[in-house]
């Protein structure tokens, strides 16, 4: 198991850490993670950790990681864990992220989830919950037709969907076993779906309060 090494640059007892939430958003490509993330960020007032965005920035910047990642991204495959963990490790060390954040598109593999757990446990940082945005394949394909992105070509999209089912879907059970998972129907108007998201956030925060704020990603 890979570990995310990190130097804590902010005291654990920061007042913000007691209110800010740390949430993971999981869903297949086209489920609306990006759209819901934008609303969630405004609602929660926490920083955004989107590995997709970080990778696209690395590709644009033509960094070594970006060049390597691009080979996988253009095929609709997941970028290998070591590259992802290196990027995420840097971002998680930023003081703003230590007191709460929205993890969008990360973790996407069991290895990434375990590395994240290691990081959270090492620094006694809680994970408040995991939201799955569920949308069936038929609807995803329908949405694909109206989107225009390079990685939305039908073949690449199908590959991305395969990667999701094979490598990311097992995480749902991983988090469900700990009572951290809530599944939301991702079909409907953006605001309608966001209302469902907000209900789930309330349940996370009630659970966190009743556990005295000690709900941890590593707790089994």
Q: Does 25 bind ligand AMP (CB under 6 A)?
A: no
Choose the binding region for ligand AMP from 13-21, 35-43, 100-108, 187-195 (rule: CB under 6 A). 100-108
Q: Does 180 bind ligand AMP (CB under 6 A)?
A: no
**Sign of the dihedral defined by the CA atoms of residues 47, 85, 159, 138, in that order:** negative
Burial of residue 188 (number of CB atoms within 10 Å: 0-12, 13-18, 19+): middle
Q: Does 55 bind ligand AMP (CB under 6 A)?
A: yes
Among 91, 108, 128, 196, binds ligand AMP (CB under 6 A): 108
User: Could you tell me the CA-to-CA distances from 149 to 78, 141, 152, 173 in Å, in that order?
Assistant: 17, 14, 5, 30
Helices 51-60, 81-92: crossing angle, 10 deg rounding: 100
Choose the binding region for ligand AMP from 35-43, 93-101, 103-111, 184-192 (rule: CB under 6 A). 103-111
Among 16, 35, 38, 72, binds ligand AMP (CB under 6 A): 72
Nearer to ligand AMP, 139 or 151 (CB): 151
Nearest residue to 87 via CA among 97, 76, 74, 99? 97
Per-residue string for binding with ligand AMP, 118-157, x by CB under 6 A? ---------------------------------x------
Choose the binding region for ligand AMP from 19-27, 105-113, 131-139, 140-148 (rule: CB under 6 A). 105-113
């Amino acid at each position: 198991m890979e570990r995310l090494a990190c130097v804590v640059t902010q005291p654990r007892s920061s007042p913000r850490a007691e209110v800010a939430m740390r949430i993971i958003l999981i869903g297949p490509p086209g489920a609306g993670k990006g759209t819901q993330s934008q609303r969630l960020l405004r609602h929660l007032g926490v920083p955004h950790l989107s590995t997709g965005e970080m990778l696209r920035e690395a590709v644009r910047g033509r960094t070594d990681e970006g060049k390597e990642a691009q080979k996988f991204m253009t095929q609709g495959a997941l970028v290998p864990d070591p590259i992802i963990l290196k990027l995420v490790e840097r971002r998680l060390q930023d003081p703003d992220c230590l007191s709460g954040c929205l993890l969008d598109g990360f973790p996407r593999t069991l290895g990434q989830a375990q590395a994240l757990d290691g990081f959270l446990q090492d620094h006694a940082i809680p994970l408040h919950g995991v939201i799955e945005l569920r949308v069936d394949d038929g609807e995803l394909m329908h949405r694909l037709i109206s989107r225009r992105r390079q990685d939305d070509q039908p073949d690449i999209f199908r590959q991305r969907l395969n990667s999701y089912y094979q490598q990311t879907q097992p995480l749902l059970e991983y988090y469900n076993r700990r009572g951290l998972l809530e599944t939301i129907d991702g079909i409907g108007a953006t605001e309608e779906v966001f209302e469902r998201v907000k209900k789930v956030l309330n349940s996370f925060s009630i659970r966190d309060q009743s556990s005295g704020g000690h709900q941890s990603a590593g707790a089994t």
